[in-house]
Amino acid sequence: MSEAKTAETGGGGVAALAARLGGAGEGRGPAPVERWNPPFCGDIEMRIAADGTWFYAGTPIGREAMVRLFASVLRRDEDGRTYLVTPVEKCGITVDDVPFLAVQLTCEGEGVAQRVTFRTNLDDVVMVDAAHPLRFAHDAENGGLKPYVLVRGRLEARLTRSTLYDLIECGEEAELEGEAWFGVWSGGAFFPITPSAELEGLA
């Protein structure tokens, strides 16, 4: 037998964890984790890499159904940490950046009536609005922008580069406090991306 192990077979750890969470069935949506207040049970060896890959004990989790199960009980608390939460336990995990990627964009309408909707790598669908805003962080590595959208709770998805380009195609200029900004309308709100004078360096 090969010594190589997947996260599902490496001692049964991730499978046992999935069983504690209620099984890895398909089609499960997000759990009501914001209503649960279980005791903290320590950290577990789970990590979400910046590229969206989930690891357990250093090994990628191969089954998408398991990843979706774990994602359904994710919660980011006020302390800035991300946890797997059930009614009876809360376990800390490591997230390199944010837990999701926004991999597809749909843009409908124009101007104030425009609606921008994202699909994440785990098939969450979220329309940008005041409750699901966009934010843009400075990327110290290349001087560009790192764009994010709030998915649920405090959990965000980072836009992939191709999705950012699609977002820019949906953008237009608007005046904010006497200054021209380039940004995006969605859900009746305007989300500024960059001052129009700096537009050339956006991508």
pLDDT digits (tens, 9 = 90+) for 128-148: 999 999 999 987 777 678 999
Whether the CB-CB separation of 174 and 190 falls below 8 Å is answered with yes
Question: How much is the pLDDT for 202?
Answer: 56
Question: How much is the pLDDT for 24?
Answer: 36
Write the pLDDT tens digit of every residue in 157-189: 999 999 999 999 999 999 888 889 999 999 999
Residues of the chain with CATH 3.10.540.10: 13-95
Mean pLDDT of 39-68: 94
Question: How much is the pLDDT for 200?
Answer: 62
**Considering only CA atoms, which of 116, 88, 89, 108 is closest in space to residue 193?**
116
pTM, 2 dp: 0.86
13-95: in CATH 3.10.150.10? no
Question: How much is the pLDDT for 111?
Answer: 93
> pLDDT class for 46, splitting at 50, 70, 90?
very high
Residues of the chain with CATH 2.30.270.10: 100-201
User: From CA 69, how far away is CA 52, in angstroms rounded?
Assistant: 15
User: From CA 148, how far away is CA 131, in angstroms rounded?
Assistant: 13
How is domain 100-201 classified at the CATH fold level? duf1285 protein fold (2.30.270)
User: From CA 54, how far away is CA 48, in angstroms rounded?
Assistant: 5
Whether the CB-CB separation of 43 and 49 falls below 8 Å is answered with no
Collapsing DSSP to helix, strand or coil, 62 comes out as coil
SS3 content of the chain, % helix, strand, coil (to 5): 20, 40, 40
Q: Which residues contact 127 (CB under 8 A, 6 or more apart)?
A: 115, 116, 117, 118, 186, 187
